[in-house]
Structure 1
Amino acid sequence: MARSSRRRRPTSRNRRLQVPPLRFFLPVTLLVTLLVLLVLRGMAINQVFHDTAIAVSVDKTTVPMSVLTGGPVVDARGTAKQTKPVNYNIPAHTVVLSFDDGPDPVWTPKILAVLKTYGIKADFFITGSMASRHPALIRLIRDEGHEIGVHTFTHADLALKSSTRMSWELAQTQLALAGVAGIHSSLFRPPYSSTVDALDDWSWPVTKHAGADGYLTAFISSDTDDWMRPGVAAIVKAAQPVRAGQGEMILLHDAGGDRSQTVAALPQIIEGLQKQGYRFTTITGAIGAPSADVPVHGYQLWAGKVFIKSTGLSVAVLPPLVALLAFAGFLVFGRLGLMLVLAVVHVRRTRRVARPSAGWSSWGAPVTEPVTVLVPAYNEQECIESTLRSLTAGDHPIEVIVIDDGSTDDTAAIVRALALPGVRLISQPNSGKSTALNTGIANASYDLIVMMDGDTVFEPSTVRELVQPFADPRVGAVAGNAKVGNRDTLIGAWQHIEYVMGFNLDRRMYDVLSCMPTIPGAVGAFRREALEQVGGLSDDTLAEDTDVTMALHRAAWKVVYAEKARAWTEAPGSIGQLWSQRYRWSYGTMQAMWKHRHAVLERGPAGRFGRVGLPLVVLFMVVTPMLAPLIDVFTLYGLLFVDAGGTIAAWLGVMAIQGCFAWFAFRLDREKAWHLITLPVQQVVYRQLMYMVLLQSWITALTGGRLRWQKLRRTGEVGVPVGTEPTVAGS
């Protein structure tokens, strides 16, 4: 376990070494990789970049007449050099069977089986999305000697796309072919095309673009309309030549829906045409051209393999990702619902406790005995005066012990110069916060001990409210209500929302469940007997407050929450400082959970904490923040590639639910809700921040790293806000 240490302020060089670029690079890389996998998966299932819009035009002013009246294979490769396009006819008594939109795992193998039975080779115009999902079928088509053509990646009508998109559709399909079969194809068929005489001013530029990229464009002679499932007889009839002996290129489909009629009609088409003296061949075989399927090597081959492997991975990981997303959503909304219900229970309980006349007993007789307040201080010269003056202005008898833990600034000198009544100063070499607190405990005069940070300000009633639960002899520790003082800054407002919406509602929930995991270092109280029983505060973890709280549970002490014991603390002034704070908290909490993991096997109150408190801490403080960024990644994916309107509506709905919940939390804490205007950004930023912090914490834990205590830079600007009314006893 890492031990907290504040021996010296690290140099700039040391700070850079402690906060390596890995902390941003690795988490961001994982999120970007996740988004890329989602995009690849979306491409493979034709969800990304796919649309079904079809261009409609009747003008043919730009299409050469020779093309409109020529054969079904168009060579437009020379149009860029002002060379006229060339048409190729299918020779007489020759048939080319061509199948579009595949491969399909159900129908393509059946069609291949029919072709194999008759010893016929055909052309398969595949889409890149289907090829990337069914690579084995592409290899089977190739191995059985059939010819493969390109039918775009997403089956989009290229007449409606830019030249860049056209190039992408073709290149991406070639990449898929290289990855699954080690080939490229020089054949292209535009989606939604038919015979050459149907070319118009919208579709002709697509053919010219394909020609410029080196493709022969294959149209058709006969369209069976099998995709409409008109019946086997109708399909067979549509496949017959218009004139006896005329060469034909017949269009069929091996994907895109139920192709049972196509499979049933295919033997009849073959046998009928064979009886008429037709031979069957591929497109290049019919026009006497070299094979369209060209082997690829080197970079093109490996790039294709990487693409296909990545696409296969994306398809495989989607179900687990969806399950994790659902689990993350369940945790997020489950936590909100649980806190909402238990917060209401807590409020009703505390209101009844405060009204003995209603038949409910309070903690007991008012606690009026003096209290020792411990203030561990390390380089707190900006804050220490405000802290001490707030304590001496309190309405409960106290002694204050300031433990100067080897400060290198004027902290000790300021305490001496103040010479406030009831305030003692103890100086010691720098040893860490837990050691400083143990020094204070050893020198405390009273049995009730309040602990606070050197940058925290108490209200006059804070100590009194904090110690009232000790009227119950079973109570060993009390958590106070920490508030953010500098909430007018953006980060301060975000942390203010988190304190009210998260920490304090969490404490209400844990209070009802009797498994409070943490007494906040900023405002907490302990019974000396309880502290001595667990051996005081330990430096085994960086979260000494969480560590000692869990130890108290295991020692069968009751830990409760005093919502009216308010303390004002200073939020970090920058994202870097916020990172350092959260990193220490997260790593320390993980250490504490691991240290007290055996509580799950214990009986009694310790077992209750182990079987209820620890799982909740794991789920809500570790698992949920790690999975929550999935919500943002899927939201971004939906916004960019699926349904922007629906995604925005869903996101706004989630924000509305969280906004209502946050408003309720603010109302319970009697806070003004105008800070919630920053809630949407806060939710997104905090999710990513906590994800990155937790990932770095896991890396530190798994690699055995040792994390130093990281002192935050303070300004000393926090005091009890003007207009805050002290809590009156019994209110």
Structure 2
Amino acid sequence: MPDGYRPRHVSRRDPRAHWVLFALGLLVLLAGLAFNGYARGGGGGSGRAGPVTQVPTPLSWPFVRSDPGGLTTRALPPRTIALTFDDGPDPRWTPQVLDVLRRHQVPATFFAVGSRVDADPALARRIVAEGHDLGSHTFTHADLSSAAPWRRRLELSLTRNAIAGATGRQVVLFRPPFSSRPGDVGSRDLAALRDVTDQGQIAVLADLDTNDWRRPGVDAIVRAGTPADGAGAVLLMHDGGGDRSQTVAALDRLIPLLQDRGYTFTTVSAALGTPASAASTGDRLRGTALRWFQALGSGLSTVMTWLLAVALVLGLGRLAFQAGCAWWHARRRHPPSRAVWSPVSVIVPAFNEAANIRATVLSLVGGDHPSVEVIVVDDGSTDGTADIVERLGLPGVRVVRQRNAGKPAALNTGIGYARADLLVLVDGDTVFQPDTIHRLVQPFADPRVGAVSGNAKVANRRRLLGRWQHLEYVIGFNLDRRMYAVLRCMPTIPGAVGAFRRAALRDAGGVPGDTLAEDTDLTLALHRAGWEIAYAERAIAWTEAPATLRQLWRQRYRWGYGTMQAMWKHRAALRERGAGGRLGRRALPYLVVFQVLLPLAAPAVDVFAVYGLLFLPAYQLAAGWLLLLLLQAVTAGYALRLDGESLRPLWSLPLQQVLYRQIMYLVVVQAAVTAVLGSRLRWHRMARTGAAAALASDHGRP
């Protein structure tokens, strides 16, 4: 589609607020994913990864609280056991632990990870309902000894709210992750304990660490959990964070063993005389909101994982299928047929094309095909376009002037003046090679062919933006056209280079003017009229691509919006037979998936990639991205070779994937919003630089 036109209808409701909503949506998505990644960052167990290098500062007893004089500690009385469990609640193991406790009718204290409380609030409520204590074990099982003060406060606050929202209880008890006995507390641990107890919480360490998280065997856990000489003890065990089958079995043996030795069981709060109190309304509300947000983040993560998987499968499948069709298209042999030497009328609609029109017209005359007439339809230009053509004084070139009515009207005017039955439609910024017209009309030897698409190439490719568009034309557009040619469902003949039978145009009702993608609209109509569309990849035309991001945005915005209009207009092709049905069931779904749905989802996928950079192993992301880039580079190299192009532009492919691709996706978002709101889009004019004319001069044309 050329960019030198504007339609007569220019009314427009330009949606702007949607960008604010779009940005907010992406921020919410990123926040939800990030919070999900943060909440799922916890591990389990009592031991730290790696050696402890801090200086030990032993405490005397397992219960630690802050008093005006500093930290004070306290122990359990003799023959008293406080069973404590860390790292839950776990949907598999916590219910089994609770069943053992209920069978033996003993209480316990559960130090819960806040994010796991949010994931299973009903289990947290069961713990409380069955008479057990529920304490804090941080929100993500974070090592507070190495955490910044703000992180400590955040972990405690989130866990307090999570438990309040699930159970309505206020948290007082706290156990630091990776903690064990008082004598193992180091200098950094002590600083963290001071910070926590200064906030009014009671830290609970352990007298006996069963090390059940290491899964040493049931006998070893029972031995480690048996106090010596009738001493009271806080026993450290785990109900989450891994396989706890040995813990459950050992607990079932340990409780009756200790009962037989005269031990009684208590909760930590009962031992300290600090019964649980009701949480404030604010904490409960914050906890409920926190749980909903965590559930939202988890759901978003699941959806995005599936979306990414589907996008990758579709993308890789598309690359493979495109390459396979291109290989088949390049190697298949057509039956010999007579050459086409019929007269050709070339129609050039032009609106303010002074920068390129001379080169365009000169490239159309004096070529390899005889009997070519050129009709330039000046559609109300104000820059002297028609005067430039008339001053050339070329035989067989006519200028038709009309008031500005838009490109479709200009094309239909030119068709009405044309003498030949084979018509070539050319944009006013396009330069043909000497053999382009002859190669373009050769498929008309087959009487079933009603139109032929040529091979449009970017002329101004010296700058980075032009290089990216060059790669897009060769990799995307032309690989797609080869695939469509094999599948016999070509959806678009580019306005820069296309040929038509007059009879086919008549059957399609002429060039339509009710969409902004008149080339796609016309091509779809030709299919539905029963005509075949061919692709002449060696009929090359050089066209001027947008030279600035602003011009590129306007062009692609119009292309995207117009394509959506055309697809909707011809949606009935899905139910038709013959060529129309082939188009409807092959090309239209492809366009919907790869030109609408996946681009609309791409910004969310990019947000998921940012989430991956923050929370997933970097080497996995790098390996995946490099693999995809390698596959795209191989496909791009093959496409460039098929088109006889140099491989040198491939160096810009990584930048194209990171920068250019995002612009194209946002264009689709804008076009989709415009289509949904029913806005009418004006035809933006692209400023011409004369790149096509310069290219013609470089190739020796006058």
What TM-score, normalized by structure 1, do the two folds share? 0.88
The CA distance in 2 between the partners of 1:31 and 1:339, in whole Å, is 32
Take 2:5 and 2:281, find their aligned partners in 1: how far apart are those partners? 58
Aligned CA distance change for structure 1 residues 498 and 59 (closer, same or farther; 3 Å) = closer
- Report the equivalent of 1:258: 243
Query: Comparing 648-657 with 106-115, which one deviates more in the overlay?
Result: 106-115
Aligned to 1:612: 586
Identity of aligned residues (%): 48
* Deviation by residue 1:647-695 (Cα, 9 ceiling, x = unmatched): 2122112111111111111111111121111101212334433332223
Q: CA deviation at 1:413?
A: 4.2
Partner of 2:49: 54
1:418 positional shift: 4.4
Counterpart of 2:113 (choices 118, 127, 131) is 127
**Which residue of the partner structure matches residue 310 of structure 1?**
293
Pick aligned residue for 2:521 from 541, 547, 557: 547
Tell me which residue corresponds to 2:272: 287
Cα deviation, residue 506, structure 1? 0.9
The reply to whether residue 74 of structure 1 matches residue 64 of structure 2 is: yes
Say which SS state the counterpart of residue 307 (structure 1) adopts. Answer: helix
Q: Within 5 A, what are the aligned runs for 1:514-529?
A: 514-529=488-503
Task: Report the Cα offset of residue 377 of structure 1.
Answer: 2.0
Structure 1 counterpart of 2:177: 191
Q: Is the 8 A contact 1:98 1:124 kept in 2?
A: yes
Question: Aligned in 2, Cα 1:535/1:47: closer, same or farther, shift over 3 Å?
Answer: farther
Counterparts in 2 of 1:254-403, with a 5 A limit? 254-289=239-274, 291=276, 295-298=279-282, 300-349=283-332, 352-353=333-334, 360-361=335-336, 364-396=337-369, 397-403=371-377
Out of 142, 166, 171, which is 1:180 matched to? 166
Letter in 1 for 2:338: A
Describe the shift of the 1:605–1:612 C-alpha distance in structure 2 as closer, same or farther (beyond 3 A): same
Contact 2:43 2:141 in 1 (8 A): no
Maintained 8 Å contact 1:632/1:684: no
- Letter aligned with residue 63 of structure 2: V
Q: How much has 1:520 moved relative to structure 2?
A: 0.4
- Amino acid of the structure 2 residue aligned with 1:6: R
3-state secondary structure, aligned to 1:295: coil
**8 Å contact from structure 2 (residues 452, 533) kept in 1:** yes
**Relative CO higher for 1 or 2, CA cutoff 8 Å, sep ≥ 6?**
2
> Residues 602 and 118 (structure 1 numbering): CA distance in 2 closer, same or farther, change over 3 Å?
same
Kindly state the Cα deviation for residue 416 of structure 1 after the two structures are TM-superposed: 4.2
CA shift for structure 1 position 71:
1.5
1:278/1:48 CA distance change after superposition, 3 Å = closer
2:38 paired with 1:38:
no
Q: Hey, what's the Cα distance between the residues in 2 that align with 1:309 and 1:207?
A: 30
Of residues 676, 682, 697, the one that matches 1:708 is 682
- The worse-fitting range, judged by mean Cα deviation, of 542-551 and 257-266 is 257-266
Q: How far apart are 1:231 and its partner, in Å?
A: 4.1
CA distance change for structure 1 residues 494 and 296 in 2, over 3 Å: closer, same or farther? farther
1:377, 1:405 within 8 Å by CA — same for their partners in 2? yes
How big is the shift at 1:87?
Answer: 0.9
Distance 1:701 1:51 in 2: 58
CA 1:417–1:550 in 2, change beyond 3 Å: closer, same or farther?
Answer: same
Instruction: Output the CA distance in 1 between the equivalents of 2:386 and 2:577.
Output: 46
Match of 2:18 among 22, 42, 49: 22
Query: For residues 50 and 309 of structure 1, do their structure 2 counterparts lie closer, same or farther at Cα, with a shift above 3 Å needed?
Result: farther
| Unmatched 5+ stretches in structure 1 | 354-359
- SS of structure 1 residue aligned to 2:6: coil
Contact 2:42 2:142 in 1 (8 A): no
What is the Cα deviation at residue 510 of structure 1? 1.0
Equivalent residue, structure 2, for 1:621? 595
Q: In the aligned structure 2, how far is the partner of 1:59 from the partner of 1:514?
A: 73
Q: 1:441 aligns with which of 390, 415, 419?
A: 415
Q: In the aligned structure 2, how far is the partner of 1:660 from the partner of 1:49? A: 44
Question: Aligned partner of 1:72: which letter?
Answer: P
Match of 1:356 in 2: none
For residues 657 and 90 of structure 1, do their structure 2 counterparts lie closer, same or farther at Cα, with a shift above 3 Å needed? Answer: same
Distance 2:237 2:547 in 1: 67
CA contact (8 A) 1:478 1:524 kept: yes
- Counting matched residue pairs gives 697
Cα displacement (A) at 1:569: 1.4
1:535 Cα offset (Å):
0.5
CA distance in 1, matches of 2:78, 2:117: 33
Match of 1:502 among 476, 492, 499: 476
Cα displacement (A) at 1:527: 0.7
* DSSP 3-state at the match of 2:695: coil
1:271-301 superposed Cα distances (whole Å, 9 cap, x missing partner): 444455544333232122353x651333x54
1:86 to 62, 72, 78: 72
Moved more, 419-428 or 465-474: 419-428
Where do 1:185-224 residues align within 5 Å?
Answer: 185-224=171-210
Q: Is the 1:434–1:544 contact (alpha carbons within 8 Å) kept by the matching residues of 2?
A: yes
**1:132-143 map, 5 Å:** 132-143=118-129
Aligned AA (1:258) = D
Q: Does the residue aligned with 2:691 lie in a helix, a strand or coil?
A: coil
Contiguous gaps of at least 5 residues in structure 2: none
8 Å CA contact 2:344, 2:423 repeated in 1? yes
After superposition, the Cα gap between the structure-2 partners of 1:173 and 1:384, relative to the gap in structure 1 and judged at 3 Å, is farther
Amino acid at match of 2:432: F
Between stretches 50-59 and 460-469, larger displacement belongs to: 50-59
Aligned equivalents of 2:186 and 2:537: distance in 1?
76
How far residue 449 of structure 1 moved from its aligned partner, in angstroms, is 1.1
Shift of the 504–320 alpha-carbon distance from structure 1 to 2, 3 Å rule, reads same
3-state SS in 1 of match to 2:237: strand
Partner Cα separation in structure 2 for residue 121 and residue 685 of structure 1: 60
How do residues 569-648 of structure 1 correspond to structure 2 at under 5 angstroms? 569-629=543-603, 632-648=606-622
- What do you get for the CA RMSD once the two structures are aligned? 3.1
Distance in structure 2 (CA, Å) of the matches to 1:567 and 1:673: 20
Cα 1:710–1:296 shift into 2, 3 Å: farther
Distance 1:367 1:42 in 2: 65
SS in 2 for 1:478: strand
Q: 1:334 to 1:60 in 2, by over 3 A?
A: closer
Tell me the alpha carbon deviations over residues 27-77 of structure 1, each in whole angstroms, 9 at most, x when there is no partner.
44444444433333333443799999535336536x3xxxx2521011247
